[in-house]
Amino acid sequence: MAGFSFPLTIDREEEERVRLAAKQVDLTLNAYREHFSKLPKEQLLTMVAYHHSLQSLKEKERNDTLPVMQRIETLSQLLDEYFRAEG
C-alpha cells in the first residue's frame, strides 16, 4: 500500500476486505498524485487519510438509525396514549 509493505496478521475471513482497503488507498493516492503532483508523499497520504475518514463518517451518518428509532418510539408512545384515552 502506497509503496510500503506492512507485516500484518489478519483473520482469513478479513483478508479480502484488507486487500480491498489497500487497493482503495492506492487508487485514491494515485488520483491525488495526478492532481497534486508537486506535493510530497506525506501530504498526499494525509489527504488520502482525510478522504477515507470523511467517507467513513458519511457512511456512518447514512446508516445511523438512532434518530429514526427515537421518532418511532415517540410516535408509538403518542399512539399508546391516544388509544388509552379512547379506550
Q: 66 falls in which pLDDT band (50, 70, 90)?
A: confident
**What are 1-53's pLDDT values in tens digits?**
888 888 889 999 999 999 999 999 999 999 999 999 999 999 999 999 999 99
pLDDT value at position 60?
84
Query: CA 59 to CA 50: how far, in whole Å?
Result: 14
pLDDT value at position 50?
95
Query: CA 26 to CA 2: how far, in whole Å?
Result: 6
Q: Is the pTM of this model over 0.75?
A: no
